[in-house]
Chain A
């Protein structure tokens, strides 16, 4: 029987959301359209229109030794061209941001290729070849995994995910890379990822209402959906602990569990 990926257990709304984000057959909703040049400006790795810096010649020009891995793996575009590797990093507020850091990692694994990722408590970094990174960044800013108020694009000084929200409902950022435009009711970036000032503000759109965020979030919380109210998620998690405790990493050695 062919393996059917299940992605995530549970029947709570949070479990369903996690499953949907991870399932690559589910198309994620596009909620905004930030211009590619603006995405490039926020990333801050190159100026729009500037050539990509390369770290090796295009693969088609090189004399790569023959090996079976090269035959198996089709290089992503940036690898073909020899792009350097750059990053985008998102900070997700504990106050019902759509994403949580681990889910980003799990979702990237099922939906993308050619990246390296690292997960911490508040932030999540992806490193990719530069032109592929820009495409991925645009998608991740435009789609429902991003909320202008509860998600931050931050290269350095990333903390703020667990701080209270400001008077406009925005997540704290010590560098104030973004600000609330009260007239438009939108959040606009005035600094790039590493807090260098932008030439002009870049709007990333209107924050989603709190009620909407609570429906689409992936965090279990007592003031939202509590994990202890999803028996399947609890059982799965306890099983991991039980198996590791009783038989280390030889889960196959345990009988009757």
Chain B
């Protein structure tokens, strides 16, 4: 076991509390309540002004529970040196979190091969690198809101859609050599050599467009709009670039390809009772989420960081935004979900697990899944995690909700089991081992949901039949057993990622998504997710889709 000085969370604990992290006793009720928070003081001032101006009362910190009876602790964004107030990690107060979700929602990947086949075989026109370049110039005019086919059209201010563009990528180096570099996501440049090789082999000769629709469209409409916005502008651009007749029957093929046959949306369709369109967070499979994260691309020697970055991404997109707001609403989920990506606690458990696997199990992906391995390795990692809370009351108080601890311990166990075997289903089975042991050890677990999903989850963690299960990478927030799994979804994404980065896989589920998010022009940096959330908390992050051009100057 690592020595005390090696615990990764100790720095954060010392910044959060004045006592030693091992101290059981402290003082309460002496911190000045909510006034100890700079942010809350600022808000009370704002709220008073607003209330006076509009004549309706607003935020009043003296209503409800007396906040700040203990120290309102700061939070370290894990594996960064950024500390933030909890308030600044609510997605409403954090422009980086908003842009993170915007950048996912507005991404559409659309194949060009079908359209090119229609142009060549059905219409008898030639498709060459030159025509492709011309099309890309056209579509980069049209996608942000420029008209290309009909005159006398209302267009969109480019200042509002500066974040909108179209690029292409392929496994065909020879073709891409002839495409204007301004439009290319170059796999060879962006990825380490072995990952680039895997990606190019998986993508093959196909040519794909990565469409970044305007952020503002997503905010005004919804995820279901994106493939429509993208498909309309793509179809119009083909018509214009290849001088086609807007009414001819072949145009329907472009529209069909761009809307359905050749399109990859980030979120799959959900059942009507969820009342969401496609490309909304509830439909994002964990494997897709793992592929959006780019940590393993820029730090290929650090698979643990890769998994932890996906945990952070899942915590914000799935727990804070989707379950916390789309499905629930309010402010409660932030406090819960941030536990997974703050204060280096899950970091400590995960890196301990990786070291443990290397020293006791021959290294990552050196073991075959078995019940005996599960019981041994799963118990070791989970016991370590729970013991840390017992030995360090500061860590216990940092994660003062049982659901936080349950998620973090289970995520560490699941990630470890996935990394030891390279198998995400085995990983999620480890999650459930952790849950059962945790409940037995402490006689407590999380909120009521932990009585449901986490007690029965072992029974379907290895199920593949369509009415019972799915390969883990293809499960998502809408998988029946996870549909109300608040706080769990962060860990699940991490487990899906862990199995693959441990194997050295360049992607977990979709090579197309992996490449699409390697794009440097995205406002949100998917290679440094946790850091970006921290920059958002510090108000250093510049989002897209702002409306300052069309509102009165302030």
Which chain A residues lie closer than 8 Å to B436 at the CB level? 237, 240-241
Q: Is B437 an interface residue (CB 8 A)?
A: yes
Beyond A172-B28, A249-B456, A249-B459, whether A120 also contacts B390 by CB under 8 A is no
Which chain B residues lie closer than 8 Å to A101 at the CB level? 443-444
List CB contacts (< 8 Å) of A219-257 with chain B.
Answer: 219-223, 227-228, 233-234, 237-238, 240-242, 244-246, 248-249
List CB contacts (< 8 Å) of B460-507 with chain A.
Answer: 460-463
Q: Is A169 an interface residue (CB 8 A)?
A: yes
**CA distance in complex: A198, B25 (Å):** 28
Q: Is the CB of B444 within 8 A of A122?
A: yes
Q: Is the CB of B393 within 8 A of A100?
A: no
List CB contacts (< 8 Å) of A134-193 with chain B.
Answer: 157, 159-167, 169, 172, 174-176
Chain A residue at smallest Cβ distance from B64: A157
Q: Is B429 an interface residue (CB 8 A)?
A: yes
**B459 is contacted by which of A92, A165, A248 (Cβ under 8 Å)?**
A248
Beyond A164-B23, A166-B28, whether A159 also contacts B400 by CB under 8 A is yes
Q: Is A42 an interface residue (CB 8 A)?
A: no
Which chain A residues lie closer than 8 Å to B69 at the CB level? 172, 174, 176
Which chain A residues lie closer than 8 Å to B401 at the CB level? 121-122, 159, 162
**CA distance in complex: A221, B456 (Å):** 25
- The binding surface of chain A is classed by DSSP as loop
**B391 is contacted by which of A121, A122, A222 (Cβ under 8 Å)?**
A222
Q: Is B24 an interface residue (CB 8 A)?
A: yes
Q: In the complex, which of the residues B433, B444, B462 has the most CB atoms of chain A within 10 Å of its own CB atom?
A: B444
Give B364 Cβ to nearest chain A Cβ, in Å: 22
Which chain A residues lie closer than 8 Å to B173 at the CB level? none
Give A221 Cβ to nearest chain B Cβ, in Å: 5
Give A161 Cβ to nearest chain B Cβ, in Å: 8
Q: Is A218 an interface residue (CB 8 A)?
A: yes
Give A116 Cβ to nearest chain B Cβ, in Å: 13
**CA distance in complex: A241, B434 (Å):** 10
**CA distance in complex: A162, B462 (Å):** 34
Give A216 Cβ to nearest chain B Cβ, in Å: 14
Q: Is the CB of B440 within 8 A of A233?
A: yes
Q: Is A197 an interface residue (CB 8 A)?
A: no
Beyond A103-B443, A121-B445, whether A245 also contacts B397 by CB under 8 A is no
**A121 is contacted by which of B402, B429, B458, B462 (Cβ under 8 Å)?**
B402
Beyond A100-B444, A162-B400, A222-B390, whether A245 also contacts B439 by CB under 8 A is no
List CB contacts (< 8 Å) of B264-297 with chain A.
Answer: none
**CA distance in complex: A246, B375 (Å):** 13
Which chain B residues lie closer than 8 Å to A160 at the CB level? 400
Q: Is the CB of B24 within 8 A of A95?
A: yes
Q: Is B396 an interface residue (CB 8 A)?
A: yes
**CA distance in complex: A101, B443 (Å):** 6
Q: Is the CB of A157 within 8 A of B442?
A: no
Beyond A176-B69, A245-B458, whether A102 also contacts B26 by CB under 8 A is no
Q: Is the CB of A163 within 8 A of B70?
A: yes
**CA distance in complex: A240, B433 (Å):** 9
**A237 is contacted by which of B27, B371, B374, B440 (Cβ under 8 Å)?**
B440
**CA distance in complex: A249, B460 (Å):** 10
Q: Is the CB of A166 within 8 A of B444?
A: no
Beyond A163-B397, A241-B433, A242-B375, whether A120 also contacts B66 by CB under 8 A is no
Q: Is the CB of A166 within 8 A of B402?
A: no
Which chain B residues lie closer than 8 Å to A100 at the CB level? 442-444
Give B336 Cβ to nearest chain A Cβ, in Å: 11
Which chain A residues lie closer than 8 Å to B383 at the CB level? 228
Q: Is the CB of B65 within 8 A of A157?
A: yes
Task: Choose the segment among B54-62, B219-227, B346-354, B446-454 that binds chain A (4+ C-beta atoms closer than 8 Å).
Answer: B446-454
**CA distance in complex: A166, B69 (Å):** 12
Beyond A162-B401, A174-B69, A241-B432, whether A221 also contacts B390 by CB under 8 A is yes
A residues with a Cβ closer than 8 A to B are 18, 92, 94-95, 99-103, 118-122, 157, 159-167, 169, 172, 174-176, 218-223, 227-228, 233-234, 237-238, 240-242, 244-246, 248-249
Pairs A-B, 10 closest by C-beta atoms: A121-B402, A100-B443, A244-B458, A248-B459, A102-B443, A227-B441, A244-B459, A174-B69, A162-B400, A164-B26
Can you name 22 A-B residue pairings with CB atoms under 8 Å? A100-B442, A101-B443, A102-B439, A121-B402, A121-B445, A121-B446, A122-B401, A157-B65, A162-B397, A162-B399, A164-B19, A164-B393, A164-B394, A166-B27, A167-B27, A169-B25, A172-B70, A174-B69, A221-B442, A241-B432, A245-B458, A248-B463
Given contacts A120-B446, A172-B69, A245-B461, 8 further A-B pairs with CB under 8 A are: A120-B447, A121-B444, A160-B400, A163-B70, A164-B25, A167-B26, A219-B441, A227-B441
